Amino acid sequence: MKVNEIFFSIQGESASIGLPTIFVRFTGCNLRCTYCDTKYSYYEGESDTPEGILEKIRSYGIKRVCLTGGEPLIQPRTEMQRLLDLLAAENYEVSIETDGSIDISKFQLRGRQRFILDMKVPSSAMSNRMDFENLKRIVPERDEVKFVVGNREDYEWARNLMQQYELQPEKGYQLIFSPIFGDITYQELVSWLLEDRIDVRFQVQLHKIVWDPDLRGV
C-alpha cells in the first residue's frame, strides 16, 4: 500500500463532522476532478503494510479513522481488506471516502465501518466515470452518499439521480449536499434545497473554515 500522509484532526465532512479523527490518505487516484483539493496525493507517498498503518493509527489513541485519498480503493484489494479487518478486530469506527467510480461490493465491511460515496457531479468533468450501480450497493442506515455541488447543473443532476435511484431519506438513506469551496455560496445551495423541499443534510467543509483552506495535514 502507498500512503501519502497520516494525521490527526477533526472530521470536516460526513456524519462524523467535528469529531476527532485519524486520517489515512492513500496515494493515487483514478480520476482527475476539476475542483480536486488534494492533487498532492496523486503521486507523493511511501509504501507501508496494513500492520504498519495500524501501528501508526494506534499511536493517536482515538478509535475513529477515515480512509481517504486520492482514492483509497485503488490500493491492492487484498491489502485494503486486510487493513479493514484489522481495524474491525480492534473496534475502530471507520469511514472510507471513495469517489463513486469503483465497485464497493468488492470489499467486505464489518462492525463500525461505512462507505462515504462521493458521486462526482458534471462540473468535476468525471461524472461519466461513475459506477452508478454503487447506488444500489450502498446499505441504508450505514453508508452515506455525498454530492459536492458547484452550480445549478450539478444540483439538478444530483437531485435527479436521487429520484432515479429512489434515494429517499425515509428509507434510511443518508444524503449530503455540500458546496464546492469557492465556486458557489452557501446561501445559493441552501436556498435550492429549501425551495425544492429536499430532505438532505447541507454541509460545509468545516476544516476549511477552521484552518487555511490550502493547509495540508488538517
Give the total number of structural domains in the chain: 1
Range(s) of the domain holding residue 173: 2-210
The rounded percent of the chain whose pLDDT value lies above 70 is: 100
> Residue 212 annotated as binding?
no
> Residue 198 annotated as binding?
no
Q: Is residue 180 part of a domain?
A: yes
Task: List, as one string, the DSSP characters of 8-67.
Answer: EEE--SSTTTTSEEEEEEES--S---TT-S-GGGTT--EE--HHHHHHHHHTT--SEEEE
> Residue 43 annotated as binding?
no
Backbone dihedral angles phi then psi of residue 168, each to the nearest 5 degrees: -105, 130
Q: Is residue 216 part of a domain?
A: no
Bridge partners for 98 per DSSP: 117
> Residue 69 annotated as binding?
no
List, for residues 114-154, the tens digit of each pLDDT value.
Answer: 999 999 999 999 999 999 999 999 999 999 999 999 999 99
> Residue 61 annotated as binding?
no
Q: Is residue 218 part of a domain?
A: no
> Residue 66 annotated as binding?
no
Helix axes of 50-58 and 77-89: crossing angle, nearest 10 degrees:
30
Is the pLDDT at 215 greater than 80? The verdict is no
14 — pLDDT class (breaks 50, 70, 90): confident
What pLDDT, on a 0 to 100 scale, did the predictor assign at position 209?
84
Spatial separation of the C-alpha atoms in residues 30 and 209, rounded to whole Å: 28
What pLDDT, on a 0 to 100 scale, did the predictor assign at position 200?
95
Q: Is residue 137 part of a domain?
A: yes
Q: Is residue 215 part of a domain?
A: no
Q: Is residue 217 part of a domain?
A: no
> Residue 33 annotated as binding?
yes
> Residue 174 annotated as binding?
no
> Residue 35 annotated as binding?
yes
CB 160 within 8 A of CB 30: no
Task: Please tell me the pTM assigned to this model.
Answer: 0.94
List, for residues 161-211, the tens digit of each pLDDT value.
Answer: 999 999 998 999 999 999 998 889 999 999 999 999 999 999 988 877 887
DSSP 107: S
106 — pLDDT class (breaks 50, 70, 90): very high
> What does pLDDT average to over the chain?
95
Is the pLDDT at 28 greater than 90? The verdict is yes
Q: Is residue 30 part of a domain?
A: yes
> Residue 27 annotated as binding?
no
> Residue 36 annotated as binding?
yes
What pLDDT, on a 0 to 100 scale, did the predictor assign at position 217?
76
CATH number at residue 65: 3.20.20.70
What pLDDT, on a 0 to 100 scale, did the predictor assign at position 98?
97
> Residue 116 annotated as binding?
no
